[in-house]
Amino acid sequence: MNIAIIGGGASGLFAGGILCDAEQIISIFDGNEKVGKKIYITGKGRCNLTNNTTVEEYLNNVVNGSKFMMSAINRFDCQDTINFFENNGLPLKTERGNRVFPVSDKASDVTKVLLNRVKDCDLKLNEKVVFIKEDKESNKLLVKTEKEEYLFDKVIVATGGKSYPATGSSGDGYKFAKMLGIEVVKPRSALVPIKLNDKFCPLLQGLSLKNVTLKAVINGKKRELFGEMLFTNDGISGPIALSMSSYIAENQNVSLSIDLKPALSEEQLEKRLLRDFNENLNKNISYIIKGLLPRSLVSVFLNVCEIKEELKVNSITHEMRKTIIKNLKDFKLSYSSLYPLECGIVTGGGISLKEINPKSMESKKVKGLYFIGEVLDIDCLTGGFNLQTAFSTAYACATSIIEENNRS
Ligand SMILES: Cc1cc2nc3c(=O)[nH]c(=O)nc-3n(C[C@H](O)[C@H](O)[C@H](O)COP(=O)(O)OP(=O)(O)OC[C@H]3O[C@@H](n4cnc5c(N)ncnc54)[C@H](O)[C@@H]3O)c2cc1C
């Protein structure tokens, strides 16, 4: 069987390796001069390639597409990914949040493993695919690139989403699908920084808050995420802010706030403040707040509370104390918008899952055409779940092609 894989990213290379092992004839097309460009920048150059967790926990981290992923993740789960890379000579380690990285801390080592497995494939680099068409005469699929035209028995589209287009993923898979009458769910930002209207952002730029809860009400629905976040020049980023962005769609009504002290109830905070106040009656209020919050947040926090930093503790009124407690538990942020989808860690939306057989990733409309990885309308939270999705969908596709071939 003659098979084309369009896209030499995580999913395309992984599928290519399995098919190569089964001695299929594979051509991998990539518009770039080298494969796996996005893999190099994953996990800040360290590649968080999966999560050391159960199928159930994986599914809890899929924002869109969890039902669709049931079959694929059960066939190739996170432990399978770990075993695959270790059996291919890449020692791995598990860090906070069960995130799995190579011991070497080098994303390039992940690419090396994937590339090594496709060394017998026909790697067509610098060859961007322009469109895919059904060729009625030969009953095959025609792949037209910027250089040539080819006929294949099967074509696997692994072109990724639209995020970080400099890595090669510029949304071409959506165009191919539309030209073939396959429905595409409008691509949208996911795992992107959130822009705020608050004037204090530049003052807090670079401030990382650990062990806080980011709270949101999105079109009336409450969400809370606990962990780490970061202030940027014009908003918020970091794990829980990026994750929260995946739940926000265009034109939704969003209100945001931070519980700066999630481990303490209002009553516990009140007791703590009263104790601190009694012990420091002649100190400035900023001295007390410094004991509760990171230094760089103190001025902004007291400004939001409308309390002067130099006010003596013995002048703090009951009302002021209540305001401090309220803001510690519910520090309001003014939501502006999400960053554009090009800035996202992943792209939400993509090939409609209604169009795809979840066992094989084959299009229900076009026989022999498959979609894997981020091009599909699936997006997950951070933690290695997006690469796991790329591997699981690639596995489902490649093994189903091999099984079909063995049957015929
Ligand atoms: C900064 C950043 C950090 C990330 N970190 C993590 C992480 O640590 N863990 C995690 O799980 N996920 C991470 N992700 C997400 C993860 O990288 C992607 O979900 C994953 O790479 C998707 O794999 P893919 O094979 O579907 O697409 P891609 O990896 O995007 O590959 C698509 C390939 O298709 C090629 N292509 C596109 N169009 C054409 C065409 N017309 N012709 C030929 N070739 C084409 C591209 O050149 C590219 O090589 C991160 C993403 C970013 C942007």
Residue 24 pLDDT more than 90?
no
Q: Are 21 and 29 in contact (CB under 8 A)?
A: no
* pLDDT of amino acid 403: 96
Contact 233, 202 (CB under 8 A): yes
Q: What is the pLDDT of residues 340-361, one digit of tens each?
A: 999 999 999 999 999 999 999 9
Q: Whose CA is nearest to atom 31 of ligand 1?
A: 9
**pLDDT over 90 at 266, yes or no:** yes
| Nearest protein CA to atom 13 of ligand 1, as residue | 42
* Identical fold, 194-262+332-338 and 266-328: no
* CATH class of the structural domain 266-328: mainly alpha
Calculate Rg over the CA atoms of the chain. Answer: 25
Does residue 346's CB lie within 6 angstroms of at least one atom of ligand 1? yes
- Dist. CA 160 → ligand 1 center (Å): 5
Is the pLDDT at 408 greater than 90? The verdict is no
Q: What is the pLDDT of residue 133?
A: 97
**From CA 321, how far away is CA 273, in angstroms rounded?**
8
Residue nearest to ligand 1 atom 8, measured at CA: 43
Q: Say what the pLDDT of residue 131 is.
A: 97
Could you tell me the CATH superfamily of domain 2-188+347-407? FAD/NAD(P)-binding domain (3.50.50.60)
Of all protein residues, whose CA lies closest to atom 24 belonging to ligand 1?
Answer: 160
Domain 194-262+332-338, second-level architecture? Beta Barrel (2.40)
Characterize the bridge pairing of strands 335-338 and 154-157. Answer: unpaired
Looking at residue 83, its pLDDT comes to 98
Rounded Cα distance between 67 and 354, Å, is 11
Q: Where are the domains of the chain?
A: 2-188+347-407, 194-262+332-338, 266-328
Question: Which residue in 294, 331, 392 sits closest to 68, CA to CA?
Answer: 392
- Expressed in angstroms and rounded, the spacing between residue 226 Cα and the centre of ligand 1 is 27
Q: What is the pLDDT of residues 59-109, one digit of tens each?
A: 999 999 999 999 999 999 999 999 999 999 999 999 989 999 999 999 999
350 lines ligand 1 (CB under 6 A): no
Distance 405 CA to ligand 1 centre (A): 28
